[in-house]
Amino acid sequence: MSPHMTPEEFRHHGKQVVDWIADYLAGIESRPVVSPVRPGEIRGALPAHPPERGEPFESVLADLERVLLPGITHWQHPGFFGYFPSNSSGPAILGDLLSSGLGVQGMLWVTSPACTELETVVLDWLAELLGLPDRFRTDAAGGGVIQDSASSACLVALLAALHRAGGGRVAAEGVDRRYTLYVTSQTHSSLEKAARIAGLGAAAVRVVDVDPRTLAMDPGHLRALLAGDEAAGAAPAMVCATVGTTSTTAVDPVAAIGAVCRERGVWLHVDAAYAGVAAVCPEFRWLNDGVAEYADSYATNPHKWLLTTFDCGVLWTADRAPLLGALSILPEYLRNAATDSGSVVDYRDWQVPLGRRFRALKLWSVIRWYGAEGLRAHIRKGVALAGELARWITADPGFELHEPRPLGLVCVRPLWPGLTEEEADEATLRLMELLNASGTMCLTHTRIAGRVTLRIAIGAPATERRHVAQAWARLRREHAALRAALAGRPRVRKGRGSG
C-alpha cells in the first residue's frame, strides 16, 4: 500500500488542523504568554528515535497539544508586548497553506510564472500603499523582492552596494579594498552580521554618533567620518539609516543622511523593518521623508506589524542593475528561453538562496482581505493604544517615559528611589522577570543611555485596550510591591555572582 496521504485523508486531517488552529486562536488568552519550560524539557519529552512505522496524524496533533504547547511562547497572545509584534492573521495563514498546497519552487520565472508575476504585482501594490517612490517599481529601473527577513535584505543590499562601489569588480575579484559600512550604536545587529558574511569583517563597520536625546544618527558626524575614512584610503560602500530602531524606534534623518551619501556617491540603505509599514496611513507618511530622493534600497517587514505571518520581508531597490550584477550566475542547468530573452524577472538573482517559496500568496491574501482601509485600522489601533499607555505613564511619578515615542513601542523606566543606578537596573530586570512569569504578559528590555528600560510593543491583532490597561495595572502593582520589599532590606544584592 502507498505510504502517502491520499487526497481524502488530507481533506480529513486538513479540516482537523484548521479546526485546531481556530480553537488555538480563540482560546489563546487563557494560556500563559511566556513558556515556563526549562532548557531541555521539551527535548526530553520527545522520543529520541524516529518511528520505523508510520503513525496516524492524530498522534502528531496529540503531541503538539501535550508535549509542544507547554514550550510555546504565544506571540499572538493579546498580552504579548515583547520585541516587536510578529503579526499573524487568518488570511496570511491560509495564503501560506495554499503556498504549501501548490508546493511550488519559484526560483526562476519559468519554474512557475505566476509565482514571480504575482510577487511583482503585490510588491508594486505594497509600494503604492506605503507611498514609496515609483522608481522602486519593477516597471521602472528598480523593483521589489520578498526576502525571508530584513537581515537577508540588508545583506543583499550590501552586496549590491559593494558591487557598485567596486565598479563591478567585487563579484569577480572579491573584496579588493578596505570597504566600509556606516551605522550607529542603534542600528540592528544584522548590519554587522552582513559585513561579516560579506567578508568585510566587523572592523569595516563604522559607528556614527547619535543625538543623545533622540538617538538618531548625526549627519554631520557621518560626513566627517566618511571624509576621514576616504582620506585614510577606505572605500565607503554603504550607509544604513534606520527608520524605527529596534531598541526605541528612533528615526534617523534620512534626507540629511541621503544628501551626505549623494555628495560622496555612497549607497544608502534604509532599514524600516518594523516601522515602515505604518506608512500605509497617510498621517505616518513622514516616515518616508527622504526615501524617494535618496534611498538606493529600502526594507520593511510585513511579517512584523502588517499581519503577514513570518516570513515575509520586503526589499526594494531603486536600481536593480547592481543587485543583479552582484548575484546573477547562470549555470547551464538553469538556462531557459525566457531568461535568455531578458523579458522576465528571475528572483533567484535578487536573494542569497536559489530556491524560493511562493510567499507572495500570503501577502496577496492579506492585502485583499483587509484592503488598505483594514491595514490602516490595524496600525492606527496599535498606535492609539500605545499613546494611551504613554499618557498613563506620564501621569505616574513612579515611572519615566522615553521620548520621542512615534509609533506602537513604549519604552518605560520604573523609578527606584534610594537605589543606586546599578541596583535600580537589577530591580527593573527582576520586575520584568516577575511580570513575564505571571503568565499574563511578555515584555522585553533595552538599555537607553546605559540604563535598563522596559519595552512594551503594542500591535498584536488580538490586543485590545483592556489588555494594555491590565498590563499597566500589573506593572504598577508589581513595581510598588517590589519597591516596598527592596526598601525593607538594607541593600539590594550587588551584581550577579558577587555573593
Q: Which residues bind ligand PLP (CB under 6 A)?
A: 84, 149-151, 188, 190, 242, 245-246, 271, 273-274, 301, 313
| Smallest distance from ligand PLP to CB 194, Å | 10
How far apart are CB 250 and ligand PLP at their closest, in Å? 10
Measured from the CB atom, the residue of 156 and 281 that comes closer to ligand PLP is: 156
Q: How far is the CB of 284 from ligand PLP (least distance, A)?
A: 16
Task: Name the nearest CA neighbour of 356 among 128, 112, 13.
Answer: 112
Comparison of 111 and 245: residue with beta carbon closer to ligand PLP = 245
Residues β-bridged to residue 184: 208
Distance of closest approach, residue 208 Cβ to ligand PLP, in angstroms: 16
Is the CB of 240 or the CB of 281 nearer to ligand PLP?
Answer: 240
Q: Produce one character per residue of 43-62: b if its CB has 16 or more CB atoms within 10 Å, e if not.
A: eeeeeeeeeeeeeebeeeee
To ligand PLP, the closest distance from the beta carbon of 186 in angstroms equals 9
Q: How far apart are CA 400 and CA 89, in angstroms?
A: 34
Distance CA 293, CA 288 (A): 10
**Among 190, 484, 128, 143, CA closest to 322:** 143
Handedness of CA 251, 253, 255, 259 (dihedral sign): negative
Q: Specify the residue, 298 or 392, whose C-beta has the smaller distance to ligand PLP.
A: 298
For ligand PLP, give the closer residue by CB, 86 or 112: 86
- Of 111 and 190, CB closest to ligand PLP: 190
Cell numbers linked to 327 = 548575484
Task: Please state, in angstroms and rounded to a whole number, the distance separating the CA atoms of residues 226 and 219.
Answer: 10
**Residue that the C-alpha cell 504565544 belongs to:** 74
Largest Cα–Cα distance in the chain? 79
CA distance 229 to 85: 38
CB neighbours of residue 383 within 10 Å: 21
Strand partners, 208: 184
Name the minimum Å distance from CB 146 to ligand PLP.
11
CB of 313 to ligand PLP, least distance (A): 5
Cβ closer to ligand PLP: 32 or 258? 258
What torsion do the CA atoms of 241, 244, 245, 246 make, to the nearest 10 degrees? -140
